[in-house]
């Protein structure tokens, strides 16, 4: 199911890129493309987090690395947006990442990543036309 969610987000990203190239001006297009690219990168990082958590008994550091990737992408996205809905979704994702990170640091090998996946899905929706 996790990969299905990532596939839907990737498909939405591709559709958004196609739509944006025909519907937006240059400045708006650049900003929208940044949003779509970052949303895709967040989706990839969330997919990595899901895989890392599902195989946490092997190496929990992969989950921490995925969280670091999500943090990095969120910083990029937060720096390029003035959209209130997107800012809220970014804030929600940051809170989810913080919660998962705290769970891992407390020794939880299988933290609940639902808030992360839900917020990442919301970012994908906001970045779609």
Q: Whole-angstrom Cα distance, residue 58 to residue 102?
A: 19
Query: pTM score > 0.75 for this model?
Result: no
Torsion of CA 112, 117, 118, 123, to 10 degrees: 150
pLDDT digits (tens, 9 = 90+) for 10-46: 555 555 544 544 444 455 666 677 777 778 888 888 8
Residue 59 has pLDDT above 90, yes or no: no
The mean pLDDT value for 106-114 works out to 87
- Kindly state the DSSP code that residue 109 receives in the 8-state scheme: S
Question: Confidence class of residue 7 from pLDDT cuts 50, 70 and 90?
Answer: low
Secondary structure (3-state) at 12: helix
Judged by phi (left if over 0) then psi (alpha if -120 to 50, else beta), residue 62 lies in: alpha
Report the Cα–Cα distance between both ends of the chain, in Å, rounded: 24
pLDDT score at 3: 60
Could you report the per-residue pLDDT of 82-101, keeping only the tens digit for each?
A: 778 888 888 898 899 999 98
Give pLDDT tens digits for 35-44.
777 788 888 8
């Amino acid at each position: 199911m996790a990969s299905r969610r990532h596939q839907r987000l990737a498909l939405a990203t591709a559709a958004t890129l196609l739509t944006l190239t025909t519907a937006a001006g240059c400045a708006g297009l650049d900003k929208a493309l940044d949003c779509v690219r970052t949303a895709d990168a967040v989706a990839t990082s969330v997919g990595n987090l899901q895989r890392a958590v599902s195989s946490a008994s092997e190496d929990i550091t992969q989950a921490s690395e995925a969280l670091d990737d999500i943090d990095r992408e969120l910083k990029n996205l937060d720096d390029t947006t003035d959209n209130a809905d997107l800012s809220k979704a970014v804030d929600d994702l940051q809170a989810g990442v913080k919660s998962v990170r705290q769970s891992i640091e407390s020794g939880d090998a299988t933290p609940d990543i639902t808030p992360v996946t839900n917020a990442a899905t919301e970012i994908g929706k906001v970045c779609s036309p």
